[in-house]
Amino acid sequence: MDASLKSYLEKHDISYTEHSHEAVFTVEESKKLKKAIPGIRCKCLFLKDNNQRFYLVALPAEKRLDMKSLRKKLEVKKLHFGTSEELKEKLNLSPGSVSIFGMIHAKNVEFIIDKDVWDADITGFHPNINTATLELSHESLEKFYNLLEAKKQILEL
């Protein structure tokens, strides 16, 4: 875990369990970790719309994002993935390590969390690197979410 994230979690008394593992870059690769790490495995997608607004979307790893439905909910014409350069600039993250925890560095990024993730008792996210997963209770996820100053919402995706 990077030092800035560790410091942020400690400062705000957000509890977690860290699970170290080999690097995983895809949901498919992360499936082998399921037995070792409890809770719902999550993925995060970095998107931008036709008006150059950016979004970080967190959803269950196995769930397919319905982009058409999300476009309607956000009232935008187009949504597509942001570039690796935009990801670095907006969230200080690299591809393969996209995580909700990048929101501590967010520069004009809206955070969207799927209701299934929100309702889970335990969730798992990369700690801004893909060689570990942080296991969070719902209480810790809620505390993290409420501390974020960025625009945010919980949606059924």
> How high is the pLDDT of residue 131?
85
CA distance 150 to 134: 21
pTM of the model: 0.91
Question: What count of other Cβ atoms lies within 10 Å of the Cβ of residue 57?
Answer: 23
Q: What angle do CA 22, 81, 1 make, to 5 degrees?
A: 30
Fold of 3-155: YbaK protein (3.90.960)
Other beta carbons within 10 angstroms of residue 108's beta carbon come to 11
pLDDT score of 29: 62
Domain residue spans in the chain?
3-155
CA distances from 140 to 47, 82, 106, 109 (A): 25, 28, 19, 21
Which residues in the chain land under pLDDT 70?
A: 24-35
- What pLDDT, on a 0 to 100 scale, did the predictor assign at position 6? 95
How confident is the model at residue 59, as a pLDDT? 96
pLDDT recorded at residue 49: 96
